[in-house]
Amino acid sequence: MKAQLPELGYEYDALEPYIDAKTMEIHHTKHHQAYINKFNEAVEKHAELDEKTPEELVANLDAVPEDIRGAVRNHGGGYLNHALFWTILKRDVPFDGDIKTAIEGAFGSLEAFKEAFSNAAATVFGSGWAWLVLDNNELKITQTHNQDSPTSQGQIPLLGIDVWEHAYYLKFQNKRPDYVEAFFHVINWEKVNELYLAAKQ
Ligand code: MN
Protein backbone atom coordinates (compact mmCIF):
# COMPACT_ATOMS: atom_id res chain seq x y z
CA MET A 1 0.00 0.00 0.00
CA LYS A 2 1.38 3.38 -1.00
CA ALA A 3 1.90 6.05 1.58
CA GLN A 4 0.44 9.47 0.81
CA LEU A 5 1.09 12.88 2.25
CA PRO A 6 -1.76 13.59 4.68
CA GLU A 7 -3.46 16.96 4.81
CA LEU A 8 -2.59 18.95 7.91
CA GLY A 9 -6.20 19.97 8.43
CA TYR A 10 -5.05 23.47 9.42
CA GLU A 11 -3.05 26.33 7.93
CA TYR A 12 0.73 26.46 8.11
CA ASP A 13 0.50 29.55 10.32
CA ALA A 14 -1.99 27.98 12.75
CA LEU A 15 0.70 27.30 15.36
CA GLU A 16 2.28 30.75 15.29
CA PRO A 17 4.06 32.15 17.20
CA TYR A 18 5.17 28.85 18.74
CA ILE A 19 5.97 27.00 15.53
CA ASP A 20 6.42 29.25 12.52
CA ALA A 21 4.59 28.90 9.22
CA LYS A 22 7.72 28.52 7.08
CA THR A 23 9.01 25.64 9.19
CA MET A 24 5.62 23.93 9.02
CA GLU A 25 5.42 24.33 5.25
CA ILE A 26 8.90 22.99 4.55
CA HIS A 27 8.53 20.25 7.13
CA HIS A 28 5.25 19.05 5.62
CA THR A 29 5.79 19.52 1.89
CA LYS A 30 9.50 18.71 1.66
CA HIS A 31 10.64 16.55 4.58
CA HIS A 32 7.51 14.48 5.08
CA GLN A 33 7.04 14.09 1.32
CA ALA A 34 10.64 12.88 0.96
CA TYR A 35 10.12 10.10 3.53
CA ILE A 36 6.97 9.08 1.69
CA ASN A 37 8.65 8.99 -1.71
CA LYS A 38 11.54 6.90 -0.46
CA PHE A 39 9.27 4.55 1.46
CA ASN A 40 7.10 3.97 -1.63
CA GLU A 41 10.17 3.47 -3.81
CA ALA A 42 11.46 0.78 -1.47
CA VAL A 43 8.17 -1.07 -1.07
CA GLU A 44 7.54 -1.07 -4.84
CA LYS A 45 10.46 -3.47 -5.18
CA HIS A 46 8.37 -6.16 -3.48
CA ALA A 47 4.97 -6.81 -5.06
CA GLU A 48 4.16 -9.26 -2.24
CA LEU A 49 3.97 -6.29 0.13
CA ASP A 50 1.20 -4.56 -1.85
CA GLU A 51 -1.47 -5.51 0.67
CA LYS A 52 0.52 -4.43 3.72
CA THR A 53 0.01 -1.05 5.30
CA PRO A 54 2.98 1.11 6.30
CA GLU A 55 1.83 0.62 9.92
CA GLU A 56 2.05 -3.18 9.60
CA LEU A 57 5.49 -3.07 7.99
CA VAL A 58 7.02 -0.67 10.52
CA ALA A 59 5.50 -2.52 13.48
CA ASN A 60 7.04 -5.78 12.29
CA LEU A 61 10.40 -4.93 10.76
CA ASP A 62 11.73 -8.48 11.15
CA ALA A 63 9.18 -9.62 8.58
CA VAL A 64 10.29 -7.00 6.02
CA PRO A 65 12.63 -8.27 3.28
CA GLU A 66 16.19 -7.54 4.29
CA ASP A 67 17.08 -5.48 1.20
CA ILE A 68 14.47 -2.85 2.07
CA ARG A 69 14.34 -3.22 5.87
CA GLY A 70 16.55 -0.18 6.46
CA ALA A 71 14.49 1.95 4.07
CA VAL A 72 11.22 0.86 5.69
CA ARG A 73 12.63 1.55 9.14
CA ASN A 74 13.88 5.04 8.22
CA HIS A 75 11.36 6.25 5.65
CA GLY A 76 8.33 4.26 6.78
CA GLY A 77 9.10 5.44 10.29
CA GLY A 78 9.51 8.99 9.02
CA TYR A 79 6.16 8.74 7.25
CA LEU A 80 4.30 7.47 10.33
CA ASN A 81 6.02 9.68 12.88
CA HIS A 82 5.17 12.84 10.95
CA ALA A 83 1.64 11.70 10.14
CA LEU A 84 1.06 11.42 13.89
CA PHE A 85 2.94 14.62 14.70
CA TRP A 86 0.66 16.87 12.62
CA THR A 87 -2.41 15.56 14.41
CA ILE A 88 -1.17 16.24 17.92
CA LEU A 89 -0.45 19.92 17.22
CA LYS A 90 -3.03 22.60 17.98
CA ARG A 91 -2.94 25.85 19.90
CA ASP A 92 -4.62 26.44 23.23
CA VAL A 93 -6.18 23.04 23.86
CA PRO A 94 -6.84 22.53 27.58
CA PHE A 95 -5.13 19.65 29.36
CA ASP A 96 -8.15 17.53 30.22
CA GLY A 97 -9.86 14.18 29.91
CA ASP A 98 -8.76 10.66 30.88
CA ILE A 99 -5.22 11.43 29.68
CA LYS A 100 -4.99 14.15 32.34
CA THR A 101 -5.88 11.68 35.09
CA ALA A 102 -3.50 9.09 33.63
CA ILE A 103 -0.56 11.51 33.31
CA GLU A 104 -1.10 12.83 36.82
CA GLY A 105 -1.26 9.26 38.09
CA ALA A 106 1.89 8.16 36.27
CA PHE A 107 4.08 11.24 36.69
CA GLY A 108 2.56 13.10 39.66
CA SER A 109 1.51 16.30 37.88
CA LEU A 110 1.51 18.02 34.51
CA GLU A 111 4.56 20.00 35.65
CA ALA A 112 6.48 16.83 36.54
CA PHE A 113 5.50 15.26 33.22
CA LYS A 114 6.58 18.40 31.38
CA GLU A 115 9.95 18.36 33.09
CA ALA A 116 10.60 14.69 32.33
CA PHE A 117 9.36 14.95 28.73
CA SER A 118 11.37 18.13 28.11
CA ASN A 119 14.45 16.47 29.51
CA ALA A 120 13.94 13.50 27.19
CA ALA A 121 13.52 15.87 24.22
CA ALA A 122 16.58 17.93 25.14
CA THR A 123 18.84 14.92 25.55
CA VAL A 124 18.16 13.02 22.33
CA PHE A 125 21.70 13.00 20.96
CA GLY A 126 21.57 14.05 17.32
CA SER A 127 18.32 13.55 15.43
CA GLY A 128 15.28 11.79 16.80
CA TRP A 129 12.10 12.05 18.80
CA ALA A 130 10.87 12.06 22.37
CA TRP A 131 7.59 10.28 23.04
CA LEU A 132 4.81 9.63 25.43
CA VAL A 133 3.85 6.04 24.71
CA LEU A 134 1.62 3.36 26.06
CA ASP A 135 3.77 0.30 26.72
CA ASN A 136 1.94 -2.74 28.07
CA ASN A 137 -0.83 -0.39 29.13
CA GLU A 138 1.59 1.80 31.06
CA LEU A 139 2.45 5.43 30.22
CA LYS A 140 6.15 5.96 29.58
CA ILE A 141 8.43 8.66 28.24
CA THR A 142 10.87 7.34 25.67
CA GLN A 143 13.28 8.49 22.98
CA THR A 144 13.91 7.12 19.51
CA HIS A 145 16.79 7.93 17.22
CA ASN A 146 16.56 8.96 13.59
CA GLN A 147 13.06 8.01 12.41
CA ASP A 148 12.61 4.89 14.48
CA SER A 149 8.98 4.43 15.43
CA PRO A 150 7.84 3.35 18.91
CA THR A 151 5.56 0.87 17.13
CA SER A 152 8.63 -1.15 16.08
CA GLN A 153 9.08 -1.86 19.80
CA GLY A 154 5.45 -2.74 20.40
CA GLN A 155 4.65 0.62 21.96
CA ILE A 156 1.74 2.86 21.02
CA PRO A 157 2.78 6.51 20.55
CA LEU A 158 0.36 9.06 22.03
CA LEU A 159 2.46 12.22 21.78
CA GLY A 160 5.78 12.90 20.09
CA ILE A 161 8.11 15.80 19.55
CA ASP A 162 10.33 15.88 16.50
CA VAL A 163 13.76 17.12 17.62
CA TRP A 164 15.46 16.91 14.25
CA GLU A 165 16.95 20.33 13.53
CA HIS A 166 14.64 20.66 10.50
CA ALA A 167 11.74 20.88 12.99
CA TYR A 168 12.99 24.04 14.70
CA TYR A 169 16.20 25.49 13.28
CA LEU A 170 14.66 28.33 11.21
CA LYS A 171 13.07 29.89 14.28
CA PHE A 172 15.08 28.60 17.21
CA GLN A 173 18.50 27.86 15.68
CA ASN A 174 20.54 25.91 18.24
CA LYS A 175 18.09 26.56 21.10
CA ARG A 176 16.30 23.22 21.24
CA PRO A 177 15.04 23.78 24.83
CA ASP A 178 13.18 26.93 23.67
CA TYR A 179 11.49 24.92 20.94
CA VAL A 180 10.50 22.27 23.47
CA GLU A 181 9.05 24.97 25.73
CA ALA A 182 7.07 26.38 22.78
CA PHE A 183 5.84 22.88 21.87
CA PHE A 184 3.94 22.69 25.16
CA HIS A 185 1.72 25.54 23.95
CA VAL A 186 0.61 23.58 20.89
CA ILE A 187 -0.17 20.12 22.21
CA ASN A 188 -3.57 18.96 21.03
CA TRP A 189 -4.56 17.26 24.29
CA GLU A 190 -7.94 16.39 22.85
CA LYS A 191 -6.24 14.28 20.18
CA VAL A 192 -3.76 12.78 22.66
CA ASN A 193 -6.73 11.84 24.84
CA GLU A 194 -8.44 10.21 21.87
CA LEU A 195 -5.30 8.18 21.08
CA TYR A 196 -5.02 7.19 24.73
CA LEU A 197 -8.63 6.01 24.91
CA ALA A 198 -8.19 3.97 21.74
CA ALA A 199 -4.93 2.41 22.98
CA LYS A 200 -5.57 1.60 26.61
CA GLN A 201 -6.96 -1.77 27.66
MN1 MN B 1 10.66 16.01 10.93
Structure confidence at residue 5 (pLDDT) = 98
pLDDT in tens, 153-199: 999 999 999 999 999 999 999 999 999 999 999 999 999 999 999 99
3-state secondary structure of 44: coil
Ligand 1: distance of its center to the CA of 20 in Å? 14
Please report, rounded to a whole number, the percentage of residues in the chain having pLDDT higher than 90.
98
Burial 119-141 (b: 16+ CB within 10 A, else e): ebbeebeeebbbbbbbeeeebeb
Ligand 1: distance of its center to the CA of 63 in Å? 26
Structure confidence at residue 1 (pLDDT) = 74
Confidence check: pLDDT of 98 > 90? yes
Ligand 1: distance of its center to the CA of 147 in Å? 8
pLDDT in tens, 115-142: 999 999 999 999 999 999 999 999 999 9
Ligand 1: distance of its center to the CA of 200 in Å? 27
Extents of the domains making up the chain = 21-87, 98-200
What is the mean predicted confidence (pLDDT) over 15-34? 98
What is the mean predicted confidence (pLDDT) over 20-32? 98
Name the pTM for this structure.
0.97
| Domain covering 21-87 in this structure, CATH number | 1.10.287.990
User: How would DSSP label each residue in 54-113?
Assistant: HHHHHHTGGGS-HHHHHHIIIIIHHHHHHHHHHHTB-TT----SHHHHHHHHHHSSHHHH
Domain 98-200, CATH class in plain words:
alpha beta
Structure confidence at residue 14 (pLDDT) = 98
Q: At 142, give phi and psi (nearest 5°).
A: -135, 170
